[in-house]
């Protein structure tokens, strides 16, 4: 994440706040960067001057993250960053539209979020057995789900014609028949190619099908089949958390954002458009999306 998308006007406020955090508060570089990432994302999503941001903008910002699957614990941390920023502006006598007390509180759920840490996710993926065609398929499928944040329905419908090897992207048909192009993390692409060359031909047998991920009978996998695969693999990896197909999508989004990726780009990657965030999808350059993905994804 950098300041290139921020207006000079907003950059100046962020620069002053950075000085405040580093010099006056004496916070560590990692803590300062965490604050700045949270604030930059809001400023980019709102596309407003700092003085014009209101409580509705912040509510929509929080809602968009909840829709992606970001845990309330993470959102509560972002709320603290924003509150500190706007409190600083108020103390500096900047004329802001926002009443700090109107920034909504975030209820922290005691239920474990449906997200794995980067360490847990890589441990799970790296421990998948790949000695046979089914293992090669499982490895490729879960790597893709984490690498690109695909919905389970998008994975099951993926065809041979939807994978563009040279460009390192896949074409998916999301909700509402909305088509999008999604980058595949570099390290994950190797395992997808390995399945395509060695595992899929063995599973396909004599069947005529373009479906990419096949079951042991050479036909399209079922949702229940994927659930059972994930359950078995998570048990073998010793993961204690509840894991579902959506865990891979949620984890992909969370890890990108925690690394500093642009919230707009993550929403575009996931194909998650809501009435609150539709405007942010206009005029986003595809090459920029791919660059952001490869820069911030743990498998990039």
* Residue 246 annotated as catalytic: yes
* Residue 9 annotated as catalytic: no
Give the model's pLDDT for residue 276.
40
Tokens of 92: 């500096």
Element (H, E) at 18: helix 8-19
Set 15, 25, 87, 175: catalytic member: 175
d(Cα 258, Cα 260) in Å, to the nearest integer? 5
Torsions phi, psi of 94, nearest 5?
Answer: -80, 135
* CA-closest candidate to residue 153, choices 181, 180, 172: 172
Decide: 39 and 74 in contact? Cβ < 8 Å: no
Placement of tokens 């968009």 in the chain: 64
| Residues of the chain scoring pLDDT < 70 | 1-4, 67, 102, 104, 106-113, 176, 272-292, 300
Per residue in 155-173, pLDDT (tens digit) is 999 999 999 999 999 998 8
Set 123, 168, 246, 294: catalytic member: 246
Torsions phi, psi of 174, nearest 5?
Answer: -90, -160
Its pTM stands at 0.64
* Residue 139 annotated as catalytic: no
Structural domains in the chain, sorted by start: 1-110 (1.10.150), 118-251 (1.10.443.10)
Placement of tokens 């509180």 in the chain: 105
Give the model's pLDDT for residue 300.
65
d(Cα 46, Cα 155) in Å, to the nearest integer? 32
* Residue 200 annotated as catalytic: no
* Residue 177 annotated as catalytic: no
3-state helix, strand, coil in the chain (%, to 5): 60, 5, 35
Give the model's pLDDT for residue 68.
72
Decide: 49 and 96 in contact? Cβ < 8 Å: no
Give the model's pLDDT for residue 176.
67
Dmax over CA atoms of the chain, in Å, equals 74
Per residue in 232-246, pLDDT (tens digit) is 999 999 998 888 888
* Residue 272 annotated as catalytic: yes
* CA-closest candidate to residue 245, choices 222, 226, 225: 226
Placement of tokens 């992909």 in the chain: 252
Q: Which residues contact 141 (CB under 8 A, 6 or more apart)?
A: 155, 195, 213, 226, 229
Torsions phi, psi of 127, nearest 5?
Answer: -105, 10
């Amino acid at each position: 994440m950098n300041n290139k998308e921020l207006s000079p006007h907003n950059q100046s406020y962020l620069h002053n706040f950075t000085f405040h955090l580093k010099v006056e508060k004496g916070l560590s570089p990692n803590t300062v960067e965490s604050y700045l990432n949270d604030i930059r994302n809001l400023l980019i999503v709102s596309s407003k001057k700092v003085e014009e941001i209101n409580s509705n903008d912040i509510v929509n910002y929080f809602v968009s993250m909840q829709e992606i699957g970001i845990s309330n614990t993470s959102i509560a941390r972002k709320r603290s960053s924003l509150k500190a920023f706007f409190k600083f502006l108020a103390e500096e006598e900047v004329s802001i539209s926002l009443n700090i007390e109107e920034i909504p509180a975030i209820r922290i759920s005691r239920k474990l979020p449906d997200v794995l840490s980067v360490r847990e996710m890589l441990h799970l993926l790296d421990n998948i057995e790949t000695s046979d065609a089914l293992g090669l398929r499982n490895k490729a499928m879960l790597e893709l789900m984490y690498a690109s944040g695909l919905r389970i329905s998008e994975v099951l419908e993926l065809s041979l014609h939807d994978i563009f090897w040279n460009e390192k992207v896949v074409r998916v048909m999301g909700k509402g028949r909305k088509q999008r192009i999604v980058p595949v993390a570099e390290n994950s692409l190797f395992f997808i190619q390995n399945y395509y060359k060695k595992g899929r031909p063995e599973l396909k047998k004599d069947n005529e099908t373009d479906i990419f991920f096949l079951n042991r009978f050479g036909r399209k996998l079922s949702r229940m089949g994927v659930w059972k695969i994930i359950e078995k693999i998570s048990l073998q990896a010793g993961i204690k958390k509840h894991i579902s197909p959506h865990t891979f999508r949620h984890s992909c989004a969370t890890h990108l954002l925690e690394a500093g990726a642009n919230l707009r780009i993550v929403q575009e990657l996931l194909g998650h458009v809501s009435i609150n965030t539709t405007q942010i999808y206009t005029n986003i350059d595809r090459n920029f999306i791919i660059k952001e993905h490869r820069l911030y994804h743990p498998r990039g």
